[in-house]
Amino acid sequence: MAGPGVTAAEARERIRHGEHTGPTVGLAPGHVQANLVIIPEEHALDFSRFCVRNPKPCPVLEITEAGSPVPRTLAPGADLRTDVPRYRVYEAGELVDEPVEIRNYWRGDLVCFLLGCSFTFEAALLAAGLRLAHLDQGRNVPMYATNRECVPSGPFRRPLVVSMRPYRPKGVPRAVSITARYPMMHGSPVHIGDPEALGIGDLEQPDFGDPVDVHDGEIPVFWACGVTPQAAALEAGLPLVITHSPGHMFITDRRDAEYAL
């Protein structure tokens, strides 16, 4: 189990009181940050099944009770209506608001899914001396829609989204084995090398995030990405879906190292 998680609770308190409304990267280091997808209970079983069928992009860390904003296993003192720095609210798949709290959108039938995020394995890569090109270049990680369909469930169906990090050949095996230790944070890569085999025509035109320079001799390495479940939820056309805003994650009490195999 986690230690007292003081720094995580402190970070959430600052966020709750509007003192931090920006991205969460670097906050409460060592603590698991999570993707958030909130949907009506009516669709929660279908979404849960979608996640079970596609565990690499959709590793579920917690599902809350309908109407409860408390993630009881990840952070029992937190409130998912206020403790994320910025949310995105979608109605019938259309973005209608990007607020700093969602109390006025809250309903008794809403279920929160918290999913593992690549921040955990990125910290492990950095700790092992494997640099992150997007960090070095001051950009967001590039993400791409692929030609690989996820296994559908009910209204949830979409192609896998991947994130890409380039490495030199000698770094690739270490990047694989380090990230494989975190199956609940997308785990090992889904693909190494040829972008075209994933249906990615041009690495310089990511579907989400920013392009990064891939230098001569570097190989693009692709990991399953948490944008997949978010996009699946949006594209299902549900009357209401609420997610975190990109990079504005939920900070849990749990520690990255607890999830390492």
- Give the footprint of a second copy on this chain (CB under 8 A): 41, 44-45, 48-49, 52-53, 60-63, 65, 72-73, 111, 151, 153-154, 180-181, 183, 187-188, 261
- What's the closest the beta carbon of residue 105 comes to a second copy, in angstroms? 21
CA distances from 220 to 44, 75, 191 (A): 35, 35, 9
Query: Which CB sits closer to a second copy, 198 or 212?
Result: 198
- What's the closest the beta carbon of residue 181 comes to a second copy, in angstroms? 8
For residue 151, count other CB atoms closer than 10 A to its CB.
11
Query: Which CB sits closer to a second copy, 72 or 103?
Result: 72
Query: Which CB sits closer to a second copy, 72 or 168?
Result: 72
Query: Which CB sits closer to a second copy, 14 or 148?
Result: 148
- What's the closest the beta carbon of residue 177 comes to a second copy, in angstroms? 10
Query: Which CB sits closer to a second copy, 115 or 234?
Result: 115
Query: Which CB sits closer to a second copy, 118 or 140?
Result: 118
- What's the closest the beta carbon of residue 4 comes to a second copy, in angstroms? 19
**C-beta of residue 126 within 8 angstroms of C-beta of residue 132:** yes
CA distances from 243 to 17, 32, 93, 136, 248 (A): 19, 17, 12, 28, 10
- What's the closest the beta carbon of residue 154 comes to a second copy, in angstroms? 8
- What's the closest the beta carbon of residue 67 comes to a second copy, in angstroms? 13
Buried b (16+ CB within 10 A) or exposed e, 185-204: bbbbbbbbeebeebebeebe
**C-beta of residue 160 within 8 angstroms of C-beta of residue 180:** no
